[in-house]
Structure 1
Amino acid sequence: MTRSRRPSAQTVAVMLTLAERPAEWRHGYELCRQLGIKAGSMYPILIRLADRGLLETSWESEPPAGRPPRHLYRLTGPGLQMAGALAAPADPVPARPRLDPLAGSA
């Protein structure tokens, strides 16, 4: 059975931010700063999205001297499709008919 629960607001923010420049590799620290999400929340989100095939990951090939390589992330095709679906306005919930308490009591 497939889960159909909507992702958290933080996950949606990460997906939409990555979708702004889908071909560009981004690192977690940059996303933390940009979105104001703490690392303790950001990295589990990134790992979960990668495990679901929505992000591809890579190690930085040429880190600056004195700094270890960073893990980089970008959306996959399915990730970009999901981001597009998340960006689309939600279907409006149909209004429930209001019962008029005075109707039919003539």
Structure 2
Amino acid sequence: MGLRMTIPTQLVLQVLLSDPDAEVHGYEIGTAAGLASGTVHPILARLEGAGWVESRWEDVDGSEAGRPARRYYRVTATGVASARAALARAHRPRQVGLGRPWPSPEPS
């Protein structure tokens, strides 16, 4: 899948991959990644659309809990493999120009 591996997307994936079996709500992901909710939730929606993440709403009565229900996210088995591969590609050092490394500096 052709997901853009922006730095915020990488941070969200790193949080999810830190414990692939855990369900984490959006606020926790944002806090751990150091990102605002308005950044995290669109990323999670794209990841879910790609099949890398699944979500569920918490079954809680908001008036009894004193807060709204939370949406919990977990990386899927496919998402674990795809995310790890995408992160590895994103972190690969890039060479400059047509596959050639930087030229050696000329002696002065």
TM-score between both structures, scaled by the size of structure 1:
0.75
Aligned CA-pair RMSD: 2.4
| Structure 1 counterpart of 2:100 | 95
- Gaps of at least 5 residues in structure 1 are 99-106
| Structure 1 counterpart of 2:27 | 29
- For 1:56, the aligned partner's letter is E
Q: Which residues of 2 match residues 43-62 of structure 1 at below 5 A?
A: 43-62=41-60
Count of aligned positions: 96
Between Structure 1 and Structure 2, the one with more helix by share is 2
Write out per-residue CA displacement over residues 48-78 of structure 1, whole angstroms, 9 at most, x where no aligned residue: 1101111000111347721221001010112
| Aligned mates of 1:34, 1:13 — CA distance in 2 | 9
Q: Quote how far apart the aligned CAs of 1:86 are.
A: 3.3
Q: Does 1:73 align with 2:78?
A: no
Q: Quote how far apart the aligned CAs of 1:18 are.
A: 0.4
| Aligned mates of 1:52, 1:75 — CA distance in 2 | 11
TM-score between both structures, scaled by the size of structure 2:
0.74
Specify the structure having the higher radius of gyration (Cα).
1
- Divergent runs of 4+, >3 A: 91-94
Report the identity percentage.
33
| Aligned mates of 1:12, 1:96 — CA distance in 2 | 26
